[in-house]
A and B are shown apart, each in its own frame.
Chain A
Amino acid sequence: MSTEQNNPQKYYVPDQSIWPLVGSVALGLIAFGAAHFTIEYSNEQAGFGHWVLLAGLVVLCIMLVGWFGDQIRESRAGLYNAQLGRSYRQGMLWFIFSEVMFFLAFFGALFYARMIAVPWLGGAGNNEMTNQILWDGFQAIWPLTTTPGGTETQAMGWFGLPLINTIILVISSVTLHFAHVGLEEGKRKKLMNWLFVTIALGLIFLGLQMYEYVHAYRDLGLTLQSGIYGNTFFLLTGFHGLHVTLGAILLIVMFFRCKAGHFNKDDQFAFEASAWYWHFVDVVWICLFVFVYIL
């Protein structure tokens, strides 16, 4: 038996763990709290929703620290093998694929609105009477600065801040690659420096994005409520921003793990996964820049 136990080809099946249950409690609290908070917010009434939501987020943080802490300890203790490494990598790739499909739903909404819904409201195809009777005087243009209902807004241009943000995010993908090369070559200093630059660029991106939102709300009158143009603009860039935030948190954790001397050429799953995630949000941004801002 003990020779079998020492077989490096054997899969690590972990012992019982409390964290999945804690994570489920957290998600349950978050969902319940967020739902009640949404209801109370829209009805402008006082309630308990935000407290439940907050409690859920706290439990989620505890779970993340505890669960990832266990993972890191086991990984450092050398319990994992190459097969498990493959499982983790494949799992991460499929997770990123699911994220791609999530963004696809919103891109789908954008394309449908631009190519079908708005032209039809403007009388395209056999919809002349729709335009004349229901939305008389409505002009189908994109960006949709005047909705059929009459809400007006200004469009967000692509030159200036969005272009700068694109350049920043593309550069951050390259610097992250340099950091990874540093890790592969065993050059710690190179790794740390480029990783630091990547995180800094990511945070600058987020700062500029927030500034852009302020600009949109204050100067352009472009809000979440400004019809389908504002809806798709804010949900696409907003969800992208959330993903950048998550990616930046991952990279910050990786920074401190690298500082603690973790990872080497053969043992770097967490770093790789974070890097893939970062490249993924970069690609999403390029699609955003093309389809939301330029075209």
Chain B
Amino acid sequence: MSTVVTDTHSAHDAHDHHDHKPTGIKRWLFTTNHKDIGTMYLWFSFIMFLVGGSMALMIRAELFQPGMQIVDPHFFNQMTTMHGVIMVFGAVMPAFVGLANWMIPLMIGAPDMALPRMNNWSFWILPFAFMIMLSSFFMPGGAPAFGWTFYAPLSTTYSTDSTALFVFSMHIMGMSSIMGAINVIVTIMNMRAPGMTYMKMPLFVWTWFITAFLLIAVMPVLAGVVTMVLTDKYFGTHFFDAAGGGDPVLFQHLFWFFGHPEVYIMILPSFGIVSAIIPAFARKPLFGYASMVYATASIAGLSFLVWAHHMFTTGMPTFASLFFMYMTMLIAVPTGVKVFNWVTTMWRGAMTFETPMLFAIAFVVLFTIGGLSGIMLAITPVDYQYHDTYFVVAHFHYVLVSGAVFSIMAAAYYWLPKWSGVMYDDFLSKLHFWCSLISVNILFFPMHFVGLAGMPRRIPDYALQFADINAIVSVGGFLFGFSQLIFLAVVIKAAMKKGEPAPAKPWEGAEGLEWTVPSPAPYHTFDVPPQVK
């Protein structure tokens, strides 16, 4: 719909189109509507979540018992690699971009994202990128098997031919992320409704603003490092090969310079989501709004100075290890500020426990567990013991699954009435929550113990003393995986408009511009910017 056309004919045209959705497949293929694009991102992310999740189940099935039962080691490595790649780049990141697309224009009172056509481009690149990535399974030698971190020389000297597919699909995924991030930043800088000053923006907008900056800063570095892997493998360069004057450690430095900000890209928007939900159901304004903003910015800034804590055992000068250890521990300070603020927001609040709130509280508790194990890992001498064990796997799954994924679930339940116009099925959603909460802890908590006892990650077999705990973990894994089908049922039910009609503001304590428009949100909102006081 063309909203500023000046000649009468087009104005009439635009008037006719008002709130008429384009129909059929073309609506989705050619759309410039932030809500449609957000919906597509979210569905894409959920499909990838199931694909990546089934790979995780394959891993857990093999690890149910010691010895080799189901898959061969090479295929096991392909599973760990593709599980990581798909969950990071296909599930978590697109889910956040989908939420950004849906909610940022509604939260700042904008008619759409600033660059709507580029917005559609960033989405539609993703299905092609992942088709290419998954097509690598059909190559001779199978899909990439070097871990999602693709360390050289595993990805150069010792990899199969599918590496080129991995590299080029990473390239176009990166383009998609950079375009999405530019769009978010420009939208926030330029499309805020009159009166919506920076320090009045909802925290979800703030956290995404900072996340987008991180994306633009580090995705090009990822593009650079995959390019070097490509030329090392296929064109005779020696970036990561000592015989030519290069160094495999250089790979790790470049990769983690991307990789560490990347993990904050996957958690900062979660902070924004939780900071929206907890005040709504505690019926109190967020405690320490300004400190939340500054804490987010400090976490983002520090994220560029901590990358080598992934490399303590690789071999670095002691002063470098110490520098990265202290910098890493420093991140606990702004993160602690955040957790403190969430807890304080709940303190003496008039709390109710709807499903979004349940997920948000679970996030605060479980993310903190993941954060504390992060501090343990940050201690250089201790990390020599933990490095490359299941303790690390437990740590990052606590922050990514019960952290990032739980916050995405919380966001989905919180805004589903706004998206679909109906309330979700309360019983099923609570069932989903309790199944997920219990199973995620059965799945990941025991991993700490086998990790501390020395069970290495990424190995398809293990010593007999780890058998019992691995069996428990695998049971938890299957329970968690199948629990997500309840979520699928809830979403399909809401998408089919089965449920009680939702009012414009279904949550009593919710604040923000998104609750001033009807539910479901009309196809076009805020054609005329609202005045924010």
**Which residues on A are within 8 Å of B, measured CB to CB?**
1-2, 4-8, 10-21, 23-25, 27-28, 30-32, 34-36, 38-39, 41-43, 67, 78-79, 81, 83, 86-88, 90-91, 94-95, 97-102, 104-106, 108-109, 112-113, 116-118, 120-121, 125, 134-135, 144, 147-149, 151, 224-225, 227-231, 235
Contact = CB atoms under 8 A, between A and B. Distances in A.
21 contacts: A4-B527, A5-B5, A6-B11, A16-B22, A18-B29, A21-B29, A21-B30, A23-B125, A28-B125, A31-B129, A31-B169, A42-B235, A87-B115, A98-B182, A101-B219, A108-B254, A109-B254, A112-B247, A113-B250, A224-B235, A228-B238
A151 B32 CA distance: 54
Interface pairs A-B: 6 shortest CB-CB:
A105-B224, A28-B128, A149-B243, A20-B121, A228-B245, A24-B124
Interface stretch (B225-233, B354-362, B430-438): B225-233
Interface string B87-117: 0000000000000000000000011101111
Nearest to B243: A149
Contacts of A224: 231, 235-237
Contact of B111 (A13, A18, A116): A13
Interface residues of B, number: 91
B221 A2 contact: no
Contacts of A35: 132, 164-165, 167-169
B463 interface: no
Contact of B186 (A23, A36, A94): A94
A125 B116 CA distance: 54
Given A94-B185, A225-B236, A228-B244, A101 B217 contact: yes
Contact of A231 (B22, B182, B183, B231): B231
B503 to A, nearest CB: 26
Secondary structure call for the B interface? helix
B497 interface: no
B121 to A, nearest CB: 4
Nearest to B118: A20
B457 interface: no
Contacts of B171: 31
A86 B120 CA distance: 20
Contacts of B127: 24
B186 A87 contact: yes
Interface in B193-246: 216-221, 223-225, 227-228, 230-231, 233-239, 242-246
Interface in B131-166: 131-132, 135, 161, 164-165
B257 interface: yes
A287 B280 CA distance: 51
Contacts of B253: 108, 112
B168 to A, nearest CB: 4
Given A2-B15, A11-B111, A24-B124, A148 B218 contact: no
A148 B129 contact: no
Contact of B117 (A34, A42, A67, A78): A67
A79 B4 contact: yes
B164 A25 contact: no
Contact of A116 (B14, B115, B186, B247): B247
Contacts of A39: 161, 164, 234
B31 interface: yes
Given A5-B5, A24-B124, 10 more contacts: A2-B8, A4-B527, A11-B4, A11-B111, A16-B30, A17-B120, A18-B29, A24-B127, A118-B245, A231-B244
B125 to A, nearest CB: 5
A25 B172 CA distance: 11
Nearest to A151: B244
Nearest to A105: B224
Contacts of A100: 220
Nearest to B246: A228
Contacts of A118: 245
B1 interface: yes
B528 interface: yes
Of A102, A118, A231, which is in contact with the most chain B CB atoms at under 10 Å from its CB? Answer: A231
Contact of B132 (A32, A43, A94, A228): A32
A38 B164 contact: yes
Contacts of A14: 2, 32, 116-117
B465 interface: no
B178 interface: yes
Contacts of B228: 109, 235
A32 B245 contact: no
Contacts of B224: 102, 104-106, 109
Nearest to A71: B117
Nearest to A29: B128
A42 B3 contact: no
Contacts of A147: 238, 243-245
B69 interface: no
A12 B3 contact: yes
B205 to A, nearest CB: 16
A28 B4 contact: no
A95 B4 CA distance: 27
Contacts of B22: 16
Interface string B267-294: 0000000000000000000000000000
Nearest to B236: A225
B246 A117 contact: yes
A78 B112 CA distance: 20
A17 B245 contact: no
Contacts of B221: 101-102, 104-105, 108
B31 to A, nearest CB: 6
A134 B234 CA distance: 25
B407 to A, nearest CB: 26
Contacts of B186: 87, 90-91, 94
Interface in B378-410: none
Contact of B175 (A18, A27, A38, A109): A27
Nearest to A149: B243
A149 B243 CA distance: 4
